[in-house]
């Protein structure tokens, strides 16, 4: 039986998690086939027919480094990345699809029904290619991706359910296993508005593990200087990585941890203290503090001069010195909010909001005798909304048990995000005759966003205009081409003949809430619209590729 349920998936860099909304409207995390709430985001290509995802793959990552992929999320949308096994190349979307397929197979078993509709989360600072690649991964896994939701927004949705008591501004500090997000969010009774966001997808708990592993290997060689480094042996390195992660987790609760390790017939017992761990990794923590300062400064520029609460999400935020350092720097005691599970639960709540909106629109379409596509909830009469909500609640079946008022409140909840990158086009600087980027949409602009700017043709009698669509690559906007990534290309055709150089061409960018960028142009002298379709380059597969690879993935055994 196919389900109407929409599950929320926290597709993490190092661990992933799945949640759903139970029949009483409460978010709950589903256990995987190992009986655990989180699944390592590791993929082991045992052979062409059998793909292993999860704990078993993670446990052999150093033993079979040529067959195991970890932290692929850091490469999402990167056209240069591929992983080759047995002569076959796999792109980040495909590898992520195996993880998503495993998560949904386990979720389907746990719920006793087939799951197809999903909300997938991603870092708030993911750009256009990265979001498209995430959506493509879901399609390759045979899923209907209803929405790509920012991770801090998902955390804020969950926080709003369990903690919020009044209108407030919340700072979401999300330190996961492989990525870091920092976001300022304004929360109201009926709206969640993202103010500014930032982060680093090359910073997370895996980097803490790496520095700890290097320290432990060096300590071992101090005891046995005539023995090679444990990192030179795949089996010893695998054991050491596991021990380092266990030590890091244990030191969130204890002051000291003793671990034993062996290499080349020698065994050592090393005592690690929480203080030493903090000393070894203080540079990593300070990077998060610096980014948090920067985001708060940006928020001031948008009229937000302080925050009421700081919430910590992401498994790595459980380390005690994270909360201590944040309170020391920003003067507020942060709150841990189910750090491993909050994002998945928030995504599940986002899924119910989506489903509630769908059910309400369907009932309104019946009441009005029109198609669902013609329904605009904001323009509906309140009496009609209430009647439709009662009908929708009665027809929700076993998906959830909500009253009409609760369903209506969910459907009307507004979530406003911001773009994490700036977008522009390549133009020629008249003074230097160099190509530079002119930004039309700036970082942390509220979505949806639409901006229009007038440019000029470069030559006399120019019959067409090439538009190279660029996305900011660094932390701040830069006109330098090397500091940006080309995400699309279009050709504006139909320019009036015999126009002199610098004749106006008006370009409009519209960035939708889902990250879709639409570009259009207008040539005033002929009053003619110029249109082109942005073809996203590099990290996004064609429809033909998606269909072909999805068929292959669906046939493979994923365990």
460 Cβ neighbours under 8 A, 6+ residues apart:
498, 499, 500, 501
Residue 401: the pLDDT is 66
Residues of the chain with CATH 2.60.34.10: 423-526
Helix residue ranges per DSSP H, 226-341:
234-250, 274-301, 320-330
**205-278: in CATH 3.90.640.10:** yes
Of the CA atoms within 13 Å of residue 323, those in its CB half-sphere come to: 17
Residue 267: the pLDDT is 93
Residue 3: the pLDDT is 44
Task: Report the CATH number of the 423-526 domain.
Answer: 2.60.34.10
Radius of gyration of the chain (CA): 25
Residues of the chain with CATH 3.30.420.40: 1-163+339-415+538-559
Distance CA 292, CA 322 (A): 12
Q: Which of 412, 417, 206, 410 is nearest to 315 (CA)?
A: 206
Rounded to 5°, the CA angle 486-487-493 comes to 90
What are the tokens at 198? 């930032």
Q: Which range is least confidently modeled, 252-256, 414-418, 423-427?
A: 414-418
Query: What DSSP string describes 453-501?
Result: EEEE-SSTT--EEEEEEEEE-SSS--SSGGGEEEEEEEEEE-PPTTPPT
Residue 518: the pLDDT is 84
The residues pairing with 196 across neighbouring beta strands, listed in sequence order, are: 184
The residues pairing with 358 across neighbouring beta strands, listed in sequence order, are: none
pLDDT beyond 80 at 162: no
Q: Which range is least confidently modeled, 124-138, 141-155, 354-368, 402-416?
A: 402-416
Of the CA atoms within 13 Å of residue 433, those in its CB half-sphere come to: 1
Residue 391: the pLDDT is 81
Q: Find out whether 29 and 19 touch, Cβ atoms under 8 Å.
A: yes
Q: Are strands 309-313 and 168-175 parallel, antiparallel or unpaired?
A: parallel
State pLDDT tens for residues 208-265. Answer: 999 999 999 999 999 999 999 999 999 999 999 999 999 999 999 999 999 999 999 9
Instruction: Collapse the DSSP code of 123 into the 3-class scheme (helix H, G, I; strand E, B; otherwise coil) and give the result.
Output: coil
* Confidence bin at 388 (pLDDT 50/70/90): confident
Residue 522: the pLDDT is 82
Q: Does residue 266 or residue 201 have the better pLDDT? A: 266
Distance CA 106, CA 36 (A): 11
For the chain, how far is it from start to end, CA to CA, in angstroms? Answer: 22
Residue 531: the pLDDT is 64
Task: Report the CATH number of the 1-163+339-415+538-559 domain.
Answer: 3.30.420.40
* Confidence bin at 166 (pLDDT 50/70/90): low
Mean of all residue pLDDT scores within the chain: 88
Instruction: Collapse the DSSP code of 531 into the 3-class scheme (helix H, G, I; strand E, B; otherwise coil) and give the result.
Output: strand
Which stretches does DSSP call E strand in 31-178? Answer: 38-40, 43-45, 50-53, 68-69, 83-85, 88-90, 117-122, 144-150, 168-175
State pLDDT tens for residues 22-45. Answer: 877 789 999 999 999 999 999 999
* Confidence bin at 281 (pLDDT 50/70/90): very high
Residue 538: the pLDDT is 47
Residue 539: the pLDDT is 53
Q: Find out whether 356 and 404 touch, Cβ atoms under 8 Å.
A: no
Cis amide linkage into residue 448, ω under 30° from 0: yes
Residues of the chain with CATH 3.90.640.10: 205-278
Burial of 187 (0-12, 13-18, 19+ CB in 10 A): buried
Q: Which of 352, 346, 411 is nearest to 181 (CA)?
A: 346
Q: Which range is least confidently modeled, 164-178, 325-339, 440-454?
A: 164-178
Share of the chain above pLDDT 70, in %: 94
Residue 398: the pLDDT is 60
Q: Which range is least confidently modeled, 64-68, 180-184, 327-331, 391-395?
A: 391-395
What are the tokens at 218? 């060096």
Residue 2: the pLDDT is 37
Maximum distance among all alpha carbons in the chain?
83
Share of the chain above pLDDT 90, in %: 53
Q: Does residue 419 or residue 379 have the better pLDDT? A: 419
pLDDT beyond 50 at 110: yes
Instruction: Collapse the DSSP code of 397 into the 3-class scheme (helix H, G, I; strand E, B; otherwise coil) and give the result.
Output: coil
Residue 78: the pLDDT is 85
């Amino acid at each position: 039986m196919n389900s109407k349920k929409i599950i929320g998936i926290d597709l993490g860099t190092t661990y992933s998690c799945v949640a759903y909304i139970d029949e009483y409207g409460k978010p709950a995390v589903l256990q995987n086939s190992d009986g655990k709430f989180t699944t390592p985001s590791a993929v082991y290509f045992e052979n062409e027919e059998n793909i292993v995802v999860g704990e078993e793959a993670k446990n052999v990552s150093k033993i079979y480094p040529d067959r195991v992929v970890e932290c692929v999320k850091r490469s999402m949308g990167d056209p240069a990345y591929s992983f080759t096994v047995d002569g076959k190349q796999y792109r980040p979307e495909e590898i992520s699809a195996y993880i998503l397929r495993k998560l949904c197979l386990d979720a389907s078993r746990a719920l006793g029904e087939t799951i197809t509709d999903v909300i997938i989360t991603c870092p708030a600072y993911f750009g256009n290619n990265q979001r498209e690649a995430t959506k493509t991964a879901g399609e390759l896994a045979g899923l209907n991706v209803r929405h790509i939701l920012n991770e801090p927004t998902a955390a804020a949705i969950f926080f709003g359910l369990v903690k919020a008591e009044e209108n407030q501004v919340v700072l979401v500090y999300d330190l996961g296993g492989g990525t870091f997000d920092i976001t300022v969010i304004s929360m109201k009774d009926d709206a969640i508005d993202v103010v500014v966001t930032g982060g680093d997808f090359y910073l997370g708990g895996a980097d803490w593990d790496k520095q700890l592993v290097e320290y432990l290997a060096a300590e071992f060689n101090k005891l046995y200087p005539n023995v090679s480094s444990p990192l030179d042996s795949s089996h010893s390195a695998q054991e050491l990585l596991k021990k380092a992660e266990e030590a890091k987790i244990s030191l969130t609760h204890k002051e000291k941890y003793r671990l034993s390790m062996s290499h080349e017939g020698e065994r050592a017992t090393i005592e690690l203290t929480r203080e030493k761990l903090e000393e070894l990794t203080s540079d990593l923590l300070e990077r998060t503090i610096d980014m948090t300062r920067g985001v708060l400064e940006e928020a001031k520029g948008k009229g937000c001069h302080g925050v009421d609460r700081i919430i910590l999400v992401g498994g790595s935020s459980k380390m005690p010195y994270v909360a201590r350092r944040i309170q020391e720097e920003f003067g507020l005691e942060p709150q841990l909010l189910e750090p491993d599970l909050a994002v998945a639960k928030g995504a599940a709540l986002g899924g119910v909001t989506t489903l509630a909106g769908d059910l309400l629109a369907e009932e309104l379409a019946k009441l009005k005798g029109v198609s669902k596509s013609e329904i605009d909830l904001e323009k509906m009469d309140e009496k009609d909304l209430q009647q439709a909500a009662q009908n929708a609640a009665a027809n929700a079946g076993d998906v959830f048990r909500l009253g009409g008022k609760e369903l209506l409140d969910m459907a009307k909840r507004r979530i406003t995000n911001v773009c994490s990158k700036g977008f522009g086009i390549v133009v020629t600087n008249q003074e230097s005759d160099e190509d530079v980027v002119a930004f039309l949409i700036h970082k942390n602009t509220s979505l949806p966003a639409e901006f229009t700017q007038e440019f000029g043709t470069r030559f006399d009698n120019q019959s067409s205009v090439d538009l190279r669509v660029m996305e900011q690559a660094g932390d701040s906007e830069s006109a330098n081409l090397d500091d940006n990534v080309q995400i699309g290309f279009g050709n504006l055709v139909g320019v009036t003949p015999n126009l002199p150089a610098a004749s106006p061409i008006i370009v409009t960018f519209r960035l939708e809430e889902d990250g879709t960028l639409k570009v259009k142009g207008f040539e005033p002298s002929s009053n003619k619209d110029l249109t082109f379709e942005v073809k996203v380059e590099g990290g996004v597969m064609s429809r033909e590729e998606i269909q072909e690879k999805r068929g292959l993935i669906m046939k493979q055994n994923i365990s």
